A and B are shown apart, each in its own frame.
Chain A
Amino acid sequence: MNNSLVFRREIEVLLKDGLHMSPLSQINRLACAFSGPVSIARDEFIADAKSMLDLLQLNAVKGTMLVVEASGEQAQELVEGVARLMSGAPADGGPPGPSQHAD
């Protein structure tokens, strides 16, 4: 495995209400469980995905393009998980969860 692997992907926010606190919390949990650095950039602003304070500053409504970058082992899987959460799907690619909705 190559620990210096960097994976970067541009992702469009597809959630109807944008990237609100609930999906951001899920992204934050994924990032915190990942060994390497994870960032999400919107234009000039770069959020450390391990910090909720940073993530909440993304102000990403539906249609916003964000650049997600992770470094380390399984960086691609991490970024793909974040992409799924930004589209409203579970991070693990499984079937959609219960309809209970948090803002």
Chain B
Amino acid sequence: MAILSLTVNGKKHQVDVDPKTPVLWVLREHLNLTGTKYGCGIAQCGACTINLGDTAVRSCQLPVSSIADKAITTIEGLSEKGDHPLQQAWIEQDVAQCGYCQAGQIMSAAALLKTKPHPTDDDIDAAMSGNICRCGTYLRVKAAIKTAAKG
């Protein structure tokens, strides 16, 4: 165990954990930020996607000791009032079915729009290829990303 500090959604936290603990479980079980989801544990489904700086990463395979002072953004910190263009677009397109994967989808899309504010279909397919939606809402996910990019 070790005391580590990390910055999540602009707030500094100290946690006493095994340094190998994936960020996913630190978020969920030490900081009570459960918006980031456990889906596979092997970075294959994208439910655990967070932004590390401006990059989308799978937090289930990211040891908490490896992130140093890089800023973490989770779905809870994407906007203060749920009014990030992607969040608004997700509601406008009424994307969710079960909703479990959607936080990860939105965080992947958020990183995409930071580097490519006007992505092509291929850009979207590539950026979202790591996010599985078992309910099959892909068309609406894509439509929402396009809506947000336009806005």
Q: Do A and B come from one complex?
A: no
Q: Which residues of B contact A (CB under 8 A)?
A: none
Interface residues of A (CB under 8 A from B): none
